[in-house]
Amino acid sequence: QVHLVESGGGSVQAGGSLNLSCVVSGYSADSYYMGWFRQSPGEEREGVAAINTNSGDTYYADSVKGRFTISQDNAKNTLYLQMNSLKPEDTGMYYCAHEGEVVVVHALSPAEYQYWGQGTQVTVSS
């Protein structure tokens, strides 16, 4: 069973930065997809960024390219999302996800991830 714990959310002014962290435990495979997703009230969950932990390939939603960076620290079993130049439309609950036993084809598709953290709230005010 994979266990994911996110942290680092908060409230910032537009233009500010936050760095989200996700500590992963309970999975031993060397290569898997992990991603960050977000959801606002009344909206569907959407993919923000994803990474293949073996190849290091990264994937970003168009809305965050150039502002967000996904990275991993294998020694700490931690996934990060550095968010810069934040906008009010970035507001939402941010979730970390792990593919688990599912074979991810579309890295930013929430439906293709098996395990999820509890989420961390990000609020950006104008």
pLDDT digits (tens, 9 = 90+) for 39-68: 998 999 999 999 998 899 999 999 999 999
Q: What percent of the chain has pLDDT over 90?
A: 82
Q: Among residues 110, 17, 106, 122, which one has the least CA distance to residue 67? A: 17
Backbone angles phi, psi at 71, to 5 degrees: -150, 170
How is residue 26 written in tokens?
């309970």
| 26 within 8 A of 1, measured Cβ to Cβ | yes
Q: Among residues 23, 18, 34, 39, which one has the least CA distance to residue 81? A: 18
pLDDT digits (tens, 9 = 90+) for 23-41: 999 876 667 899 999 999 8
Radius of gyration in angstroms for the set of CA atoms belonging to the chain, rounded to a whole number: 13
How many CA atoms does the CB half-sphere of 3 hold within 13 Å? 2
pLDDT digits (tens, 9 = 90+) for 89-120: 999 999 999 998 888 889 999 999 999 999 99
* Amino acid at position 30, single letter: D
Mean pLDDT over each residue of the chain, to the nearest integer: 94
Is residue 67 exposed (0-12), middle (13-18) or buried (19+ Cβ within 10 Å)?
middle
As a whole number of angstroms, the distance between CA 87 and CA 31 comes to: 33
Backbone angles phi, psi at 29, to 5 degrees: -65, 150
Beta bridge partners of residue 95, listed in sequence order: 37
